[in-house]
Structure 1
Amino acid sequence: MVVEIFGGNIMVKYSELKYTTFEEYFNDFINTLLPTNKTYEYFVDWNRVNKVVHKYKREIKLLESLYGLNKDEAKRKLEEILLEYPSVLPLLPALIAERTKKGQVEIYDPDKFNFLTLDFNPHLLTTQELQEILKFCERTGILNVLTTVENLENYLFGVEVGLDTNARKGRSGKIFQKMVERFLGRNVPEYITLVTEDKNFSLYKAIGRSKTPKKHDFVFYRDGTPIAVMEVNFYNTTGSKPLEIVRSYITLNRVAKDRNITFIWVTDGPAWNEMKDTLKIGMKEIDWVINYNQLQRLINIFNSVNWELTEL
């Protein structure tokens, strides 16, 4: 069954999903979007936070020796520690919530009218490097932290918890992927093998030039043969990224069809309420576009034909 919309043919298989019209399918998609994908794991990655703090326990104790010293005393003490224990170097930018790039921090020094690259990887410091590091600690307030904060471990713990909130956007997609994986694990029959982020199979090889093509979120195998791939994503906020994703998935859907493989796009999130036109572009070209709540309809269809998906 095909309907006309925006002057083109809707390809999404809404009738197989047990909807009478595209409008019924689309309205159900929008009305059943998840308001959030925040699970308990979303808020803080405690394993990462504890790992960072535990990693620097020895160095924290060394730097705590500066507590209560005046500025000059603290600079001399820090200089001694840096020369004797270079392993404290990575801890210094962490105290001001600075994520280094390969252990380095780039900064503009207005006194020298020049950009500096400070290396905080553990290494023996030259005289010039030592003075630059000491200046960095003084000007950025690190030295003040070391002389006024008695318990650096608790301080660093708080800093890392705060920094971890920046990683929530990246965790959001992984959390939704885990939600879908749990559902599939309960509903996919045993004769179907589900592989997450399969290293051995990717349709992206056909559309990209990279030697290491992107992995699919899920690949479904039957008797050792890939029969379906699934991509999942969740959007809390609007932006240009969804349109890029839609275009790439339209291409993947065509590549998959050429190889008798079923392409499935599971997407969700409140942002789709504001990006309906972008969503319809994908639905116009991709066979299977569903949200999390529609997953059961899809699995029911596949189970009804014993996952002989070429029949659909």
Structure 2
Amino acid sequence: MTRNTRDFDTWLGQFKPVIASYDYYVDFDKAIANTEKWRSELHLMNSLLGSKSIESDFLALVKKYPDVLNVVPTLIAVRATEVPIYEVGMLTKFQFGGKKKSNRPQDYADFMRSTGLFELMESHYITNLLDYVMGVEVGLDSNGRKNRGGHLMENLVEGYLRTAGLACRNSEGRKIIDGNPQEVGVYYKELYTSTMQSFWGIDLSEITNSGTVEKRFDFVVRTAKGLFGIETNFYSGGGSKLNETSRSYKEMAQESERIPGFQFVWVTDGGGWKSARNNLRETFEIMDTIYNLNELEEGTFKRLFVQ
């Protein structure tokens, strides 16, 4: 591996602040599906809205339709069938899932009162619990942005692999198909080092601590030049994880130099790196196969893998 001849500050200045697509912010299909599964229970619970004697009405409803309790955790934006509550000297676990409930009906009424759900339903703040839960699900789905963000970067990088003329050779299940280890001009998604070693007969002990550590690459490219293991990530915000990632990939790059026929490629981007620039600089200076999205737009993969 040769020392990087590019200017680090210029390279870092090309980083993009965001790569969010239209479907990054909310997965509405998921939110709708999660709401619809409670449609019957929510319609029953709607009978409590505006009630003047909500506790007794709730207890009567639970007695007749105990399954309405299953939706209660969602009403407080919790994805769990058991909700623990700690008060001084006492821990109470409220079981909401399943057919058999472990708490007394009055316990659930106390839960509804203490969490503020009765007040919310009594005071006409909401007029339809189905609409309310849809809003809760949209809010909960924001937690999925981290995973979607990771997939956004992977999808972008895969697009550039295809643009370079490479063909994918494994399915969504990530198992290798069309098993020809001699084929070149192809890429594979999410391969573990053990699979790579058995399929291509390459010794990756330098990066697996002599086989004691299993490593997974986001993409593996096979060309006439050899094998390339690609890692991708995008950081819009800072944090200690960036320094850890940079150090880890610096070690990976150095270890990969000792593996004949193998190169490590790192594609990273995002404004979060501005706060961890010093650690990133250290990796950049010893690794000439570290790239940003701007370089992929300019055809880096075609030059690296095809020409």
Is the counterpart of residue 107 in structure 1 residue 85 in structure 2? yes
CA 259–154 in structure 1, closer or farther in 2 if over 3 Å, else same: farther
SS in 2 for 1:206: coil
CA 69–30 in structure 1, closer or farther in 2 if over 3 Å, else same: same
Q: Which residue in the other structure is 2:135 paired with?
A: 158
Is the counterpart of residue 173 in structure 1 residue 139 in structure 2? no
**Alignment deviations for residues 163-214 of structure 1 (CA, whole Å, 9 cap, x no partner):** 222332332222122122222222233443222223644979815857xx45
Q: Which residue in the other structure is 1:94 paired with?
A: 74
Q: CA deviation at 1:13?
A: 5.3
- Report matched runs for 1:6-155 at 5 Å: 14=4, 21-23=5-7, 26-70=8-52, 73-100=53-80, 103-110=81-88, 113-126=89-102, 128-147=103-122, 148=124, 149-155=126-132
Is the counterpart of residue 286 in structure 1 residue 287 in structure 2? yes
**Alignment deviations for residues 114-165 of structure 1 (CA, whole Å, 9 cap, x no partner):** 1222222223124x44333221111111223344333111111112212222
Q: Which residue in the other structure is 1:269 paired with?
A: 270
Distance 1:130 1:201 in 2: 57
CA 285–134 in structure 1, closer or farther in 2 if over 3 Å, else same: farther
SS in 2 for 1:44: coil
CA 175–74 in structure 1, closer or farther in 2 if over 3 Å, else same: same
Kindly provide the amino acid, as one letter, of the partner of residue 185 in structure 2.
I
1:197 maps to which of 187, 190, 193:
190
Q: CA deviation at 1:254?
A: 4.1
Q: CA deviation at 1:297?
A: 4.5
Distance 1:201 1:142 in 2: 54
Distance 1:253 1:217 in 2: 15
TM-score of the pair, normalised by structure 2: 0.79
Equivalent pair of 1:192/1:220 in contact (CA under 8 Å):
yes
Distance 1:231 1:96 in 2: 38
Could you tell me which runs of 5 or more consecutive residues in structure 2 were left unpaired when the two chains were aligned: 168-183, 198-203
Equivalent pair of 1:267/1:290 in contact (CA under 8 Å):
yes
CA 143–279 in structure 1, closer or farther in 2 if over 3 Å, else same: same
Q: Which moved more, 1:34-43 or 1:84-93?
A: 84-93
Q: Which residue in the other structure is 1:260 paired with?
A: 261
Q: CA deviation at 1:59?
A: 1.1
SS in 1 for 2:99: coil
Distance 2:233 2:59 in 1: 49
Q: Which moved more, 1:253-262 or 1:240-249?
A: 253-262
**Alignment deviations for residues 237-273 of structure 1 (CA, whole Å, 9 cap, x no partner):** 1111011112222333344442532111100011222
Equivalent pair of 2:3/2:286 in contact (CA under 8 Å):
no
Q: Which residue in the other structure is 1:241 paired with?
A: 241
CA 106–267 in structure 1, closer or farther in 2 if over 3 Å, else same: same
TM-score of the pair, normalised by structure 1: 0.77
Kindly provide the amino acid, as one letter, of the partner of residue 109 in structure 1.
E
Equivalent pair of 1:12/1:284 in contact (CA under 8 Å):
no
Identical columns (%): 29
Q: Which residue in the other structure is 2:219 paired with?
A: 218
**Matched residues, number:** 277
CA 160–43 in structure 1, closer or farther in 2 if over 3 Å, else same: same
Q: Which residue in the other structure is 2:300 paired with?
A: 298
